[in-house]
Structure formats: structure tokens, C-alpha cells
Amino acid sequence: MRRNRRWAALGASLFLFLTACAGKAPQDTLQPKGDVARRIDNLINPVFIVAGLVFLLVQGLIVVAVVKFRAKPDSPEPEQIHGNTRLEVGWTLLPALILLAVAVPTIKTIFDLAKKPANPINVTVIGHQFWWEYRYTDLGIVTANELRMPAGRPVELTLNSVDVIHSYWIPPLGGKTDVVPGRNNSMHLEADKPGEYLGQCTEFCGASHANMRAKAIAMTPADFDTWVAGQRAAAIAPVEGSPAGEGMATFLARGCAGCHTIQGVSKGLVGPNLTHFADRTTFAGSIFERNDANLRKWLTNPQAAKPGNAMIIPGGPLTPDEITKLIGYLNSLQ
């Protein structure tokens, strides 16, 4: 009975251990996809090996001591000793040397990564409950949730928040940095190859903390330049009377313009900039793929779709007809 329980406990812990395994984990920090993440990863491996050996040695000695020197019936009182200078100096010096060996490359990497890279794309990242705003300060672009970047070129991020503390992390591309109101933190990222890299907010920031994802999309330099040119252009004005045109009228009539900026149409100050909304693959903190069904779900009841978010529809819920028109307009914002 007791034995069964022991086996059950062992099985359960092994099972828990296995939950750490995943064949296809997009947010795996141990599979770096860029220079910054690779430098951090290069620190993990040697430290893990040394720490693993120390762990095995210490645990092994404990097991030997427990088994070999346990108190047995009638065993005499063991010899009482006090102090052993040679041993004590040894177990003080050896760990100090190991820590020194770990500290030198770690501190060097911290200082290297703190340096601003040459020829970066400068982006200010602003945390909001619960989405990310990106301002490309040199390029005059404002977008949300998806960080577009050219592959092979560093992106220098300046991070701050308009509300509470968030934390920005795209594990395959770089380290994690807190996003603090009233303070500018900085970090840089780089991707080797074009592709999509997932991340998320990693500081508890409210009811939808788990719904505050991040996505970096690395592109070839030529594709990135094309994207930049498209983003800098004004929003496409819809034809009056077309479905998109009716959507724009709804956007203005229902007060969406109070929060959302659409260049040339509105100057909102709170919500995501929607000028080129249809260029994005996701929305609402990158938790929804951008398609009509998800947009309808979102516009019908944003609070149900994402608890605690700041979106308010002035004057109460939108009608299904208004939602259809708005979706038409949003899809036209290439």
C-alpha cells in the first residue's frame, strides 16, 4: 500500500516534469532566432551544465550520507567533531570560483546588450491595458500589436506604459524588459530570418494580462521598405455610399473617432491607431486573427471577448447592421 503510494507520487512528479516538453513551442527561449536571444542562450548552457553537476554531486552525497550513516538500533554515538579548516576553506573557495566563472561572461553580456546597436530601427513601445502600441519615431509610423521589422537589422526599443507595469518579451528574439509608467527602459531585438515570432506580456497587469500577446513580424528589407511606404500613406478614403463609406459614416456617428486615430479622418488619443488596420493579421492584443467573424464578436461585446479591456462603445451596443458596416470600413483600411 505504502509502496504503491510512493510509485504513484513518483509517477505524478515525472508526469509533471514531462509537461515542460513541447515539440513545437513558438515561445521557446531555448531556440533563439536572432543575435540577442542567441547571446542570452549561450549563457544558459554552460551555467546549466555546471549547476547540474553541482546538483548531482550534492544530492548524491546526501543520499550516501542518509543510507550509510543513518542511526541503527544499538549503534554507538558517532564521533563528535567540530571544525575542519581545510574542508571549510575548500567549500567556500570552490563555489566562489564557480560563481566568478559564471559572473564574468554574464556581466560582459549584460553590458554588451545594453549598448545601443549600430544602425537600428528606433521604435517606442507603449504598454496599454491590454495591447501594445508601436511608434516608429524616425519613420513617422504608429501601429499596434504587431512589430514589423526587417530581418538582419536590430530594432532598438524604448519602452514605457500609459497605465500599469507590463513586461515585453518575444523569447526567440531577445530578453524580457519591464514596461513601466513614467520611465523609459530600452532593449533591442534582432531576427535572423523573415518570419513570425510570438511573445506576450509577462507582468501581471489586470484581468486580461493573459490576453496581451505580442507578435514580431520580420520581413526581408525590401518587403519592409514597401510596408513602411504603405504605412506612411494616408488612410484610403472610401467611396461615399459604398459599404466601406457607410462604415466610415458609422465610425464617425457612433463616436469611435473619440478614441481611435485614422489618419485624415480622426484624431483619437486612447485606442489603437486604425489607419492601416487591414494590414494587420491580428487585433485586440493579437488574441484574435483578423477576420469578419472575430471582428463581429469583438464589436458585439468587447468586454465579453476580452474581460477588463478599456474599449467602451459610446451610446451602448452597436446594432448588427452597424457592425456589418464597420467591418466593411475596417477591411478597407489597407
What residues line the site for ligand CUA (CB under 6 A)? 127, 130, 166, 201, 203-205, 209, 212
Whole-number Å distance between alpha carbons of 171 and 41? 10
145 versus 332: smaller Cβ distance to ligand CUA? 145
Judged by beta carbon, residue 178 or residue 223, the one nearer ligand CUA is 178
Phi–psi pair at 110, nearest 5 degrees: -60, -45
Comparison of 148 and 209: residue with beta carbon closer to ligand CUA: 209
The cell for 334 is 489597407
3-state secondary structure 270-325: CCCCCCCHHHCCEECCCCEECCHHHHHHHHHCHHHHCCCCCCCCCCCCCCHHHHHH
Apex CA 211: angle with CA 205 and CA 215, to 5°?
A: 105
Record the cell numbers describing residue 301, joined without a space: 461585446
Burial class of residue 41 (count of CB atoms within 10 Å of its CB; 0-12, 13-18, 19+): middle
Name the residue nearer to ligand CUA (CB basis): 205 or 235. Answer: 205
Cell for 10? 513518483
| Residues 130, 211 contacting (CB under 8 angstroms) | yes
Q: Residue 143 pairs with which residues in a beta bridge?
A: 134
Q: What is the smallest separation between the CB atom of 206 and ligand CUA, expressed in angstroms?
A: 7
Q: Which is nearer to ligand CUA, 47 or 310 (CB)?
A: 310
Cβ at position 184, least distance to ligand CUA in Å: 17
Q: Say how many C-beta atoms besides its own lie within 10 A of residue 43's C-beta.
A: 15
Q: How far is CA 128 from CA 30, 166, 172, 203, 269, in A?
A: 28, 8, 23, 12, 12
Which of 201, 284 has the CB closer to ligand CUA?
A: 201
Min. distance of Cβ 178 from ligand CUA in angstroms?
10
CB atoms within 10 A of CB 328: 19
> With respect to ligand CUA, which residue has the nearer C-beta, 209 or 215?
209
**What minimum distance in Å lies between the beta carbon of 135 and ligand CUA?**
18
Whole-angstrom CA distances from 207 to 129, 130, 232 are: 9, 9, 34
Q: Between 48 and 204, name the residue whose CB sits nearer to ligand CUA.
A: 204
CB 276 within 8 A of CB 209: no
Give least dist CB 242 to ligand CUA, A.
Answer: 38
Strand residue runs (E) in 162-244:
166-169, 176-179, 185-189, 195-200, 213-219
Comparing CB distances to ligand CUA, the nearer of 177 and 231 is: 177
